[in-house]
Amino acid sequence: AEQIEFVRKDVAGLSADTPIVVFSHIPLFAMYPKWGWGTDDAAAVLNQLGRFSSVTCLNGHVHQLFTKREGNVTFHSATTTAYPLPRPGEGPAPTPVTLPPGKLAGALGIREVTYQPANPALTVADIRLA
């Protein structure tokens, strides 16, 4: 409740055309709740952001590369910098995936997100460590 109130206050004075970027550890949608890949209060947070024309949510936790759009919200997650996890539902739990020798660096990487005031869209670049 404290964090949701923080978001409400933080965006209260902003105009609806202000681009909003949210950083969270866990995805703000139910990616795969069985593994803890979603939060019960995500809808309450997103409700505070519904009036904005452009909301970008960046998250970690899932070690998956994905982009998803729902209405005015675009969700991005990067691949892992430590160890890969299986795709949602592949296996009983999100345990580290064992890769053949020499293949780990190709599964690791970062997602770079750039904002330029003259361009309302974020630039997203995926960089593999290999």
**Domain annotation for the chain: domains and CATH numbers:** 2-128 (3.30.750.180)
Q: Residue for token digits 């904005």?
A: 52
For residues 34, 72, 127, 25, the Cα torsion angle rounded to the nearest 10 degrees is: -40
Per-residue pLDDT of the chain (130 residues; tens, 9 = 90+): 999 999 999 999 999 999 999 999 999 999 999 999 999 999 999 999 999 999 999 999 999 889 999 999 999 998 898 899 999 999 889 999 999 999 999 999 998 988 888 876 788 899 988 8
Question: For residue 37, what are the CA distances in angstroms to 4, 30, 53, 59?
Answer: 19, 6, 26, 10
Can you give the pLDDT at residue 91?
85
Can you give the pLDDT at residue 123?
87
Can you give the pLDDT at residue 122?
82
CA distance 101 to 5: 48
